[in-house]
Amino acid sequence: MSSKEDFDPKDHQHLRYNPLRDSWVLVSAHRMKRPWAGQIEKPPEEHIPRFDPHNPLCPGNTRANGEVNPDYDSTFVFQNDFPALQPNAPDPDPDQHPLFQSKAARGICKVMCFHPWSDVTLPLMKKEEVVKVIDKWAELVEELGATYPWVQIFENKGAMMGCSNPHPHCQVWASNFLPNEPALSDRSQRSYYQKHGEPLLLQYAKQEAEKKERVVVESSYWLAVVPYWATWPYQTLLLPRRHVLRISDLAKEEREDLADIMKRLLTKYDNLFEVSFPYSMGWHGAPTGPHLNQDNSHWQLHAHYYPPLLRSATVKKFMVGYEMLAQEQRDLTPEQAAEKLRNLPQEHYKNRENKEK
């Protein structure tokens, strides 16, 4: 009789539960051993001019609608010239059948530039400059959240993630509805809180801080981990250590610490393949607008980072086939990903290159 083989997560496929989405992820780390003969992406452009007179996000330049940007020297926020949501859209006609439902969608879309220079990204900015970005995020959540139920802050970094402009910026969309992902997260966090009497992500942060195996960077107030249920190869989850509902609730010292840990995390990303690391990221916090006066104790503020790169600066993870038709699947364990990121130098590779010149 053959003896039963011992389970090793690096060699044996298995499923992991994502409590935020109430779904399962297939982990198949042994697939990293297969040779790659598929698509090779163009490496991100490394030589971005500090100022481009034709870039509509640069200070003093004219945008598509004819408006001229001020000569800003910090953050700069303006209404998106091509918004996906507008505040005065009419209601759709009444539903005629339960299979053909529609609802009104109204909102505001803003663009926020992080810095006047096009050749810097968040990890290369000064800490005090990143603090100003965080302060502006908090200000926008308070301003737009006074009316709208959901305010989504998100950054698409790099052409690989569909970003059409290299200037450091993010978007802020406020909507009169709770979008699918936060609605699902709201239900999952509420269910856990009702069963266990503690916010899901607060307990999760405590567990990860003790285990350490998926921690990438940590500080007095924050923890960044490759989550146990991560789908994207080097996906991370950024969590406060205390119970916080929204980014606008962060104290001054927590914002300063957040700026530091963001720079550290994003430096690790850039150092992985020595390239300006592409990703989509965004903040999730308790709903706003009519939800401000409701009990949202089940919520915990957090940020998701979803980077696509898998093997190198030019080979990304494709979410196709099985992932689209069956369920999410990943090609290395979260523990392997966290170890790779954690062991990278903390000094940004561009700063090292400049010293060597």
Write out the catalytic residue numbers.
169
How far apart are the C-alpha atoms of 172 and 136, rounded to whole Å? Answer: 11
CA distances from 28 to 32, 74, 231, 233, 316 (A): 8, 44, 11, 11, 16
Check the annotation: does 163 bind a ligand.
yes
Residue 318 annotated as binding site: yes
Q: Is 156 annotated as a binding residue?
A: yes
Q: Which residues pair with 23 in a beta bridge?
A: 18
* C-alpha span between 181 and 61 (Å, rounded): 36
Does 242 carry a binding-site annotation? no
> Is 162 marked as binding a ligand?
yes
349 is in an annotated binding site: no
Is 60 assigned a ligand-binding role in the annotation? no
> Does the annotation flag 322 for ligand binding?
yes
Specify the 3-state DSSP secondary structure of 117. coil
**CA 93, 94, 99, 101 torsion-angle sign:** positive
Q: 264, 269, 267, 288: which is closest to 279 by C-alpha?
A: 269
164 is known to lie in a ligand binding site: yes
Q: Is 157 annotated as a binding residue?
A: no
Q: Is 336 annotated as a binding residue?
A: no
Cβ pair 87, 62 in contact under 8 A: no
User: Which residues are CB-neighbours of 335 under 8 A, at least 6 positions away?
Assistant: 9, 213, 214, 226
Q: Which residue, 179, 181, 187, is CA-closest to 148?
A: 179
Q: Is 165 annotated as a binding residue?
A: no
Show binding-site residues for UDP-alpha-D-glucose: 31-34, 64, 80-81, 156, 162-164, 171, 317-318, 322-323, 329
Show binding-site residues: 31-34, 64, 80-81, 156, 162-164, 171, 317-318, 322-323, 329
